Structure 1
Amino acid sequence: MNDESASAVEAPEAADSGETETETETPAPVERRRRARRRRRHVPRFLGLDLAWAPRKSSGGAVMEIGEDGGARLISSSALRTHEDILGWIARNRGRAGCVLAVNAPLIVENTSGRRPCDELLQDHFGAYNVDEYQVNTVNASHPRTIGRALMRMGFDPNPMAEGDRVVETYNQAAQVLLFGGERPVRLKVGPVGARKDAVSRFRDLIWERLGDAMPHLDETPAFDALLEADLPSSNGSRVGELEERLEATLSAFTAAYLGLRGPESCAFLGDLETGYVLLPTTPQPPGE
């Protein structure tokens, strides 16, 4: 067959069966997953980082999003080891629709000795509640200070009033006093393993009981259940330490969600952007209650 005759050949038309063609429908579970993925692309992320003060120590990270009911949902928690682990985890989880990152460690540190003005304010306000005294300078807080500067180079703004991605310093012991009540915070990571397990158990009870009715409330999720139900009796010291870090990171992520949803006007701000500050949630209850 030559080219001319070949080009004139047309495919035969399909026989009309008399039936109307219908489009293939996507199965409902698949479509729901697709919608959920599309929705997550537009949902802000709230990250909590329990940052070690020394590079050889491990850290913990937690990721929260806001659910359809307005509750804070723990999506995941992670054990983080190195400087690169920490920054890589943040880069992967910051999301596309804005991010608030709350760090349980000093970020802005300019004094070479002594402590920052905000450390003195913390002691003034929370010393009566047996919160550990903070004494931060460039000597003892060089690692978190380095991480803080790296985060700012990644585009995180340390100003809580800013638009876009923000990073704030928080202090979980003081946040416990405000969110959980009581005369003193639960101290994690101190003492023999048995005492630490008892502290983890009390902390888990408080974070579930007090934040379940907070604003935002903390929803039950598989990631959160895994923290609450992690087996303590059979855990060794390193496993307990990892759980402590993830729980601390979860509380920090809640502070980030609190700032993102209720705004900086609902938070306590001790210090300033030049010498350092600590941001804290002020109350677990909705405004007006």
Structure 2
Amino acid sequence: MIYVGIDLAWTNKRPSGLCILNDSGQILFWETALLEDSDIVAIIQKYDDGPLQIAIDAPLVVPNENGSRPCDRLFRKHRVHGHALGIFVSNRAFLNKTYGMIRGELLTQILLDIFPQCSLTANPANKASCIIETFPTALVYGLFPELTPIDHKVKHKKPYAHYQRDMRRLLLAIESILRETMNRPTILDQVENWIAEINKKNHKHIEDAVDGFLCAYGLYLMDKGHAEVVSFGDEENGFIVHAERR
């Protein structure tokens, strides 16, 4: 099984984070870059060997013209290890007006065409190829409860040092996981460099890469039975799949 995590930018004019794990949890590809949909497909094809799970941080099914999706409302009522988390409200009017597209929908259709073994599902089953929508901010709380509360994304509500410190805490936890899964020295060096060098200028670049990893790692843990699958909504009206450590 290959696990693909995509922190998808709203348009191809902004960088996306992409991370691919093998069946042992080792990183095959990890990068933040300006990526066309065709670039994302080509990278996945390079590592695709049959069974394939893809998790995307972006709304994939948005039937509602205005307001919020039922899955968004359900998620806001959920508590992730006791924490209430906000979530982006998705509707067609806002996304099309602001970004000129609903990129997650477009990419999903391309992926389903190119990788026919995958299905778009709100209820991923172990060892089954699939595409899901997920939410990395919640995955931090679901997979690293010992770190919470944590603010690894800059929101300009607090001094930058607060967000820098919390991102370093998360990166240290990720580094520990990568050592346990025997990742390549170049991958470990990359994380160590991020820990040492993170600042206001490069924070978003690192954040996108981290979110891509979280999407892939959540899939990996759910597929291995190490995290509970928590699903909100359905394939017709929109859905979010979340992972919480058992």
Q: State TM-score, norm by structure 2.
A: 0.80
Counterpart in 2 of 1:256? 219
Residues 126, 222 of structure 2: 8 Å contact kept = no
The structural deviation recorded for 1:195 is 4.8
Inter-CA distance 235–266: structure 2 relative to 1 (3 Å threshold)? closer
Task: Tell me the amino acid that sits aligned with residue 97 of structure 1.
Answer: G
Greater RCO between the two (CA within 8 Å, min separation 6)?
Answer: 2
What SS does the aligned partner of 1:110 have?
coil
Counterpart in 2 of 1:267? 229
2:69 paired with 1:116: yes
For structure 1, which runs of at least 5 residues remain unmatched after alignment?
A: 1-43
Alpha-carbon distance between aligned partners in 2 of 1:231 and 1:187, rounded to the nearest angstrom: 13
Alpha-carbon distance between aligned partners in 1 of 2:241 and 2:69, rounded to the nearest angstrom: 14
Task: Tell me the amino acid that sits aligned with residue 204 of structure 2.
Answer: G
Question: Which of the residues 37, 48, 61 maps onto 2:18?
Answer: 61
What SS does the aligned partner of 1:88 have?
helix
Counterpart in 2 of 1:277? 239
Residues 131, 185 of structure 1: 8 Å contact kept = no
Counterpart in 2 of 1:137? 91
Task: Tell me the amino acid that sits aligned with residue 52 of structure 1.
Answer: A
Residue-pair matches, total: 231
Residues 100, 260 of structure 1: 8 Å contact kept = no
Question: Which of the residues 123, 135, 149 maps onto 1:171?
Answer: 135
The structural deviation recorded for 1:146 is 1.8
Alpha-carbon distance between aligned partners in 2 of 1:234 and 1:176, rounded to the nearest angstrom: 21
For structure 2, which runs of at least 5 residues remain unmatched after alignment?
A: 96-101
Inter-CA distance 96–57: structure 2 relative to 1 (3 Å threshold)? same
Residues 189, 244 of structure 1: 8 Å contact kept = no
What SS does the aligned partner of 2:167 have?
helix
Bigger share in strand: 2
Q: How does 1:79-90 map to 2 (within 5 A)?
A: 79-83=32-36, 84-90=38-44
Inter-CA distance 238–54: structure 2 relative to 1 (3 Å threshold)? farther
Residues 62, 78 of structure 1: 8 Å contact kept = yes
Alpha-carbon distance between aligned partners in 1 of 2:119 and 2:33, rounded to the nearest angstrom: 23
Q: How does 1:1-289 map to 2 (within 5 A)?
A: 44-67=1-24, 72-83=25-36, 84-93=38-47, 95-126=48-79, 129-141=83-95, 142-154=102-114, 155=116, 156-159=118-121, 160-161=124-125, 165-181=129-145, 183-191=148-156, 194-208=161-175, 211=177, 218-231=181-194, 234=197, 237-262=200-225, 266-283=228-245, 285=246
What SS does the aligned partner of 2:26 have?
strand
The structural deviation recorded for 1:202 is 2.0
Alpha-carbon distance between aligned partners in 2 of 1:205 and 1:189, rounded to the nearest angstrom: 18
Q: Which of the two has higher C-alpha Rg?
A: 1
Task: Tell me the amino acid that sits aligned with residue 240 of structure 2.
Answer: V
Task: Tell me the amino acid that sits aligned with residue 189 of structure 2.
Answer: A
Alpha-carbon distance between aligned partners in 1 of 2:63 and 2:187, rounded to the nearest angstrom: 37
What SS does the aligned partner of 1:47 have?
strand
Q: State TM-score, norm by structure 1.
A: 0.69
The structural deviation recorded for 1:174 is 1.6
Worse overlay, 102-111 or 161-170: 161-170
Inter-CA distance 146–254: structure 2 relative to 1 (3 Å threshold)? same
